[in-house]
A and B are shown apart, each in its own frame.
Chain A
Amino acid sequence: MSSAGKIAAEALAEPAVRVRTPRARTTTAYVRYGAGKVGGAVVSLLAVLVTGFFLFRLIPGDPVKTMTGGRPVSAEQLAAYRREFGLDLPLWQQFTDYCGKALTGDLGTSYQFHAPVVDKIGEALPNTLLLTGTAFVLYTALGILLGTRAAWRHGRLGDRLNTGLALTLYSVPSFWLGLLLIIVFSVGIGPIPGLFPTGGMESGGEEGFAYVLDVAHHLILPVVTLVSVEYGQTLLVTRSALLDEMGSDYLTTARAKGLRDDLVRRRHAVPNALLPTVTLVFVNLGRTVAGVILVETVFSWPGLGGLFYQALSVPDLPLVQGLFLFFAAAVIIMNTLADLAYPLLDPRVGR
């Protein structure tokens, strides 16, 4: 997934470069820096609100006629529906209404589910978070671990294998990998029995601990898919950051002081090199929610991705807009958090 987005994440990994201007080390400076970041995020959010509203109005299709499913409906009844959903108002008024409500947390009512958009998102969000959260923790940990290892053994066989594998998996389309995993491990092929469920999040009817186990069982294949395609990026960023750091003078100094290699790595090199990785981690955390559309589709996971896709085809405008806003907000918020955390982690930044 996020195949189209991988690059973007890489660019996001360097927001700090711009702000690295030496200033006096004062709290006020940090507050000013933080306020700027938060202000920027708010502007971005508003921009997303605007785009979400107008972009999806371009989808060809009269929502009211779609809502009635082509059933015979009189013009008066259609007008009544339009009134009910506020579609009879001029566009600018619809927009201001929408913004006003969105600011109070009301994202409207889904056309197809007759339920508040916030409720629909609330229903699907925990599922998506469970899937992406688990995958996120695993691929971040795996990426950092293997990345450090590869950098330290730079140029040796282990590094080559690690980097090669990461690059290869990074180039594999996630949905394809998911389908293959289903064929091999769910359906079973040759001597391999079908070990895992083919899709969904639960078998239903389980309670208590059995339910947890059941969900975990369903979780494995999608998580494996996500981790496989995602860990490479973290690995590569960690690795190159660490390689960068390893050329530094202070490491030579540290070694010259007689510190053990292991210690030099752990105490000095890694913490510094982790900075770009941390940014990436935050960015991933935000993107992760939107990034699972494909995996959710392949594994029938009842999350936000599937909901978004369903909403687009109607088009269920309030739901599409709500989800779009939500996805973008997740990235923006995480990105802002990364920006805010960066100076705390790296004393060179934003002082």
Chain B
Amino acid sequence: MSTPVHGSGFPSSRRLRPRVARLVAVAGAAALTTLAGLATPLNPAPQQASAADGDKVLTVAVAQSVDSLSPFLASRLLSTSIHRLMYEYLTNYDPTNARTIPGLATKWQSSSDKLTWTYTIRSNSKWSDGQQATAEDAAWTFNTMMTDEGAATANGSFVANFEKVTAPSPTKLVIKLKKPQATMTALDVPIVPKHQWEKVGDLSKFNNDKSFPVVGNGPFILTDYKPDGYVRLKANKSFWRGAPKFDELLFRYYKDQDAAVAALRKGEVSFVAGSPSLTPAQAASLKNAENIHVNDAPGRRFYALATNPGAKAKNGQKFGDGDPSLLDERVRHALFMAVDRKAVIDKVFQGHAVEGQGYIPPRFPQYFWKPSPSQELTYDPAKAAQLLDQAGYRKNSSGKRLGKDGKPITYRVLCHATDPNDKAVGQYLTEWWSKLGIGVTLDCLDNVTDPWLAGNYDLAFDGWSVNPDPDFVLSIHTCAALPATPKDTGATDNFICDKQYDSLYARQLAEYDPAERATIVKQMESRLYDLGYMNVMAYPNAVEAYRTDQIKSIRTMPSAAGNIYGQDGYWSWWSAVPAASDGSSDDSGSTGIVIGGIVAAVVVVGAGVFFAMRRRATAEDRE
């Protein structure tokens, strides 16, 4: 502690009186504690027992910040989920089997050349300000995205191929395409009310978060939003599919997942999903808790180890700096054979995941594929070492395998610093591969996008959520998805480009018979497996939890063993039924009393100490 050394002097004329400071301290502390004491009894957390108006509130803990509440700008999961609740889309997904079902459009048909699509818009959907939602609104939404670059920020890819969108009548929408487009029944674009939005000036700067309630026609109406505080929606009683059972839906911020789980335990929130899911320890402790249901559902994600196949662009230009040894299929296979997938499931996911096989998770049984015993890359470190020897990567005297350039091989593994699983699996990989004589550098970054797109990595932890229609996750491994030049960003995942895979992809795209298509898709998965560029280690479960004394029932998607948060559609929150009891409100009442008691005690003791000290001071003075 370095303190200025003062020479002796005289008292200055201006003084800060310590007594003032003391008074401030005591008064401040007392005020604060009193406030708190008063706060609690009056303020039971927003359990449905905000009983004053008897509203049933469904509170959901979230961590992700809203990037924008404008459907034209938002791309994060939370924001787009909220838009699902605020606005109807043309189509929706059946919660039981994820097939396309009517949304704002009741039916749709395409011309024989697949270039003209005609949608019939329902006439029983009203905006929350009383106006009718019509085809004109939809046409305006699409046209705006096509003409205004700012409005194309989030969903521009859907309309990039649109030639013309018109609304010949309030119930008829016609979209003309430049070339056939597979996503015409899955246009995940919120349709906004034209009469509200045409008044907005610059759409690239408008975040739709200034005046509430926001006019919409979805199952919920956005009524309030505070950045990183909460997002509040109230039920749309006149929603055409039927009013939600809860009166209010509140997304509350807990940046810390532990805080969210603790809030669930206390009944501050009704639902916690975690990002991406609850940890095994949290799930285990919540399972034993009263009135809490843990939904441990097969996930729609796969968790894979991607290999850099030598990044290149469509124009043939190579870029990035992937290790050349990885171009040898035997090396890739050897690496994966040294990965103990069972240990990953048991130790890292602690059972909350399924061991990886093919590319598409078993949650989609029609497309799920398993390697045949002969092609399966089972865990076998000895055989892995043999394969590496065969490939010509032999160990030197100090046990390190040498590359073709004579230097020891060390792979850089790209991992997400925010994902504990990446780091945990990375730790295992380091140990498993070091036994093979291969070094590992874990490159854990907050943001992996840049090295990823530049191809500056050897291996990387990878994962995608698979949609009911697997077209997208299959398309990202085709040559067509490569960037046009190294300067572009392509749709490709990790620069895989394989002729055989591509021809299979083209065949499944043209195949209209679902069973036949599924067979081709499985062949693609088989090819992908053999290539060894995408090695699926696990299918993590969606682990989420809710309070059964607040939510009586809630619909998962798919209905049998599905997830709740991040569904395609608004099913979970729309279908949630409040529990009749208000058991938890007693709890907070007593909590308030306890706090009140403690606060009173603190104040009394504090005052006692204060006066005692005063007494003593004077007593000393007398001495």
Contacts and interface: CB of A to CB of B under 8 A. Distances in A.
Direct contact of A and B (CB under 8 A): yes
A240 to B, nearest CB: 5
Contacts of B29: 138
Contact of B35 (A74, A78, A216, A275): A216
A298 interface: yes
A61 B450 contact: yes
A73 B227 contact: no
Nearest to A278: B16
A262 B22 contact: no
Given A141-B28, A204-B252, A75 B488 contact: yes
Contacts of A51: none
B595 A195 contact: yes
A28 interface: no
B489 A68 contact: yes
A148 B4 contact: no
B21 A244 contact: no
Interface stretch (B39-47, B511-519, B573-581): B39-47
Interface in A301-331: 302, 306-307, 310, 312-315
A124 to B, nearest CB: 7
Interface stretch (A30-38, A89-97, A339-347): A339-347
A244 B16 contact: no
Interface in A112-166: 112-115, 120, 123-124, 134, 137-138, 140-142, 144-145, 148-149
A186 B262 contact: yes
Contacts of A236: 1
Interface in B370-408: none
A138 B409 CA distance: 57
Contacts of B43: 203, 206, 210, 213-214, 217
A245 B6 contact: yes
A13 B2 CA distance: 8
A82 to B, nearest CB: 11
Max chain A CB contacts within 10 Å: which of B255, B488, B491, B620?
A: B255
A241 interface: yes
B65 interface: yes
A343 B8 CA distance: 17
B35 A205 contact: no
Interface string A236-254: 1100110011001110000
Interface in B1-25: 1-19, 21-22, 24-25
Interface string A10-27: 110110110000000000
Contacts of B590: 193
A274 B16 contact: yes
A271 interface: yes
A223 B35 CA distance: 14
A245 B11 CA distance: 11
Contacts of B24: 137, 141
A204 B230 contact: yes
A143 B314 CA distance: 66
B32 A220 contact: yes
Contacts of A212: 35
Interface in A52-101: 60-62, 65-66, 68-75, 78, 80
Chain B interface size band reads 35 or more
A11 B9 CA distance: 23
Contacts of B449: 61-62, 65-66, 69-70
A66 B256 CA distance: 24
B262 A270 contact: no
A40 interface: no
B500 interface: no
A65 B9 CA distance: 64
Interface stretch (B103-111, B263-271, B273-281, B303-311): B263-271
Nearest to B595: A195
Interface of A: 10-11, 13-14, 16-17, 60-62, 65-66, 68-75, 78, 80, 109, 112-115, 120, 123-124, 134, 137-138, 140-142, 144-145, 148-149, 179, 182, 186-188, 193-195, 197-206, 210, 212-214, 216-217, 219-220, 223, 236-237, 240-241, 244-245, 248-250, 260-262, 266-268, 270-272, 274-276, 278, 297-300, 302, 306-307, 310, 312-315, 344-348
Given A65-B450, A219-B36, 16 more contacts: A69-B75, A71-B75, A71-B489, A72-B483, A75-B487, A148-B18, A188-B266, A195-B595, A198-B262, A203-B45, A204-B230, A213-B35, A249-B8, A266-B18, A270-B16, A297-B256
19 contacts: A62-B453, A78-B489, A114-B207, A138-B25, A145-B22, A198-B268, A199-B253, A203-B43, A204-B224, A204-B230, A217-B39, A220-B33, A262-B618, A270-B16, A272-B9, A310-B65, A313-B446, A345-B14, A346-B12
Q: Identify the 5 closest CB pairs spanning chains A and B, nearest first.
A: A141-B25, A213-B39, A313-B446, A72-B491, A302-B228
